[in-house]
Structure 1
């Protein structure tokens, strides 16, 4: 299935979403931003989808904002609309969807492209990839939740330095500093992504969604509130069909067959 600047393929309970403007390194314009939001909404409600992979077509994952759009007096929607209507809704959708979202970073991830990747649940990149907080290099500030996630991932001092200096960070260094989950050899990238996505799609989806909610809330909760939420969601998880299946499979010494319910 295609939607111009966004491609969607559903296979083995995994939705593969591909940013599809390779001629401009998958940089975002208004159409692409709205298309991605629409596809994420569809994946959220589609019961056949139990895991999501976000990647890019061609040499880049995403180079951020298409600067031709913002410098064209007729096309430019203005930065308020770009943030309020394009990037912020994409970030909130990725974090709110109760299914695992994997960023399969196939090439350079710069600016908003880097921060969209970092907002995903699991980030895997091949060894030739680089991440760049490119905003300061053109006189802007990080957006797309970069100032929220980056310091939480790698620490305040290093995140601030990367945001100010706009350093290019290799996938290997990104893994070492905890920015991403894993850097893999280029020739193993596609296989690694497929295996990871299929594994997630066959896990207890409801529990994974609750884990995601717990980690989301831990960003702002105090200890007492987090303990209360853990208790609430654990009780809900224990009432799921997948929990019953998981316990039965453990007792019977067999592989569980989770249904995501």
Structure 2
């Protein structure tokens, strides 16, 4: 994490795996979010990804470690859910600079952001069901709220790719920017937020996010149980074994 002009920049940093999610990335991400929340010099949090993608979702090469037993699997899924809790329930507004790919858990983190700026060339989708898995990140509450129940079901069931423009049209991101400008646009947005009255801007996040908090909390509990069961399903191991990301 780096801090400049009141903006804490947190950068996912596994570029060789398209910033795919594993325990080390989760622990580092959570620790950085916690530090940013506690730092009185931080006004806004900016999250982005190193390399060619924001985040390619769960690292399928580590699936067998993630699904080695129910306790280990639950711990891994709860660590994923912890990121959502920190982004959504933290006091400080979180801006996302999203490029390349935002897949699975990476796409879920985009939807957790208070304001996300997405590169024109970015592609997003939720592949979990086709892999025998289940969504996390509060998506079972957040996505229907954003796009409607039937559209949310279709996006989760079929896992079809959507473009940045489609994400914008559905209200899933705040703004779309040229690929070579997305980071600068996100920094400018964060700086604009940092210049607003502190208490007022924090109340915007607190009040609007609490409007769905009960359903979000319940949804995340159900997601965790469903995802743990799916990780431990033998059919999922077969599907994961036949899937590669590049």
Which TM-score band (shorter chain)? 0.7 to 0.9
Q: Which runs of 5 or more residues in structure 2 are unaligned?
A: 215-246
Q: Is the 8 A contact 1:53 1:102 kept in 2?
A: yes
TM-score (ref. length: structure 2): 0.82
Runs of 4+ in structure 1 deviating by more than 6 angstroms, as ranges, are 73-77
Q: Is the 8 A contact 2:96 2:186 kept in 1?
A: no
2:212 & 2:110 partners in 1: Cα distance?
18
- 88, 109, 118: which is aligned to 1:95? 88
1:49 & 1:220 partners in 2: Cα distance?
25
- Structure 1 counterpart SS, 2:182: helix
Q: Structure 1 residues 74-83 or 8-17, which shifts more?
A: 74-83
Give the structure 1 partner of residue 76 of structure 2: 82
Give CA-to-partner distance per residue, 1:91-137, whole Å, 9 cap, x none: 11111211110111122100111001101101110100011111012
Give CA-to-partner distance per residue, 1:150-192, whole Å, 9 cap, x none: 1111111111101000000000111011111111122322221
**1:168-207 correspondence runs (5 A):** 168-207=161-200
1:73 & 1:191 partners in 2: Cα distance?
36
1:103 & 1:95 partners in 2: Cα distance?
13
Deviation at 1:15, TM superposition (A): 0.5
Which of the pair has the greater relative contact order for Cα pairs under 8 Å at 6+ separation? Answer: 2
2:116 & 2:56 partners in 1: Cα distance?
16
Q: CA-atom RMSD, angstroms?
A: 1.8
Q: Which runs of 5 or more residues in structure 1 are unaligned?
A: 1-7, 222-261
Q: Is the 8 A contact 1:52 1:101 kept in 2?
A: yes
**1:38-117 correspondence runs (5 A):** 38-72=31-65, 78-84=72-78, 86-117=79-110
Over alpha carbons, which structure has the higher Rg? Answer: 1
TM-score (ref. length: structure 1): 0.77
Aligned length: 213
1:25 & 1:115 partners in 2: Cα distance?
16
Give the structure 1 partner of residue 228 of structure 2: none
Give the structure 2 partner of residue 252 of structure 1: none
